[in-house]
Amino acid sequence: MREHYREELEDINNCLVEMSNSVGSAMSKATTALLDADVALADLVIAGDEHIDAVRESIEERCFTLLARQQPVATDLRTVTTAMRIVGDLERMGDLAVHVAKLARMRFPESAVPTEVRPIFLEAGHVAQSLVTQVGTVIAKLDVQGAAQLERDDDLMDQLHRQLFTELLSPGWPHGMESAIDITLLGRYYERFADHAVSVARRVVFLVTGERDMVALPN
């Protein structure tokens, strides 16, 4: 029984890593759909969200069953409750990829992203991908150092977000109000995607160290 229990805990952790790969792939596709006005790819992301939601439900139920049947304590209990929160963040990251994809779809056959801010969204897509890869490693290896690096990469996303506003507010922005609204919302989606990645990392750090404050981490 106990051996099965340990395997189940490990398997739940593996599912979280797979789920972070899924949301990373969704955001990556959504970024391409956005930049290339690729409506088929946008549709793939939108349709794929059902699978991500199903994975969340499945992980939640497995955690619940494990709590009910095995009644873990101490670190094992903390591991399960952490997993139950991490799935929430990951699911939301999937939703944000869908928001990006839906905006790409709405403006098709135009691109929602004018030339001036294209490099910013290209880079935001890269940072998002890098964050998600790190999230996978942090979860898989309970990697506290990786979590600290991830916070620094989140700063990159914040910088990109500020650059976006600088572009929008530059005199003579030629693309009108609809485009400005789109870009403001898109910037917010990428920023929140990164925030949730940081949130996952912090939950893992709390699990490992008992510390909520990332400032205490080694650089």
Cα(54)–Cα(57) distance, rounded to whole angstroms? 5
Measured from the CB atom, the residue of 145 and 184 that comes closer to a copy of itself is 184
Shortest distance, position 6 Cβ to a copy of itself, whole Å: 18
CA atoms in the 13 A half-sphere facing the CB of 147 = 28
Could you say whether residue 188 binds a copy of itself (CB under 8 A)? yes
Contact 148, 171 (CB under 8 A): no
Q: With contacts defined by CB under 8 A, how many residues of the chain interact with a copy of itself?
A: 26
Q: Which residue has the tokens 């939301």?
A: 92
Binding mask 42-61 for a copy of itself (x = CB under 8 A): ---------------x----
Residue 111, phi-psi category: left (phi > 0), alpha (psi -120 to 50), beta (remainder): beta
Which residue bears the tokens 């870009």?
Answer: 183
When asked if residue 1 is in the footprint of a copy of itself (CB under 8 A), the reply is no
Of 6-14, 35-43, 153-161, 182-190: span binding a copy of itself (CB under 8 A): 182-190
Tokens standing for residue 104: 């790409």
Interface with a copy of itself by CB under 8 A: which residues?
57, 63-64, 67-68, 71, 73-74, 77-78, 81, 84-85, 88, 165, 168-169, 173, 177-178, 180-181, 184-185, 188, 212
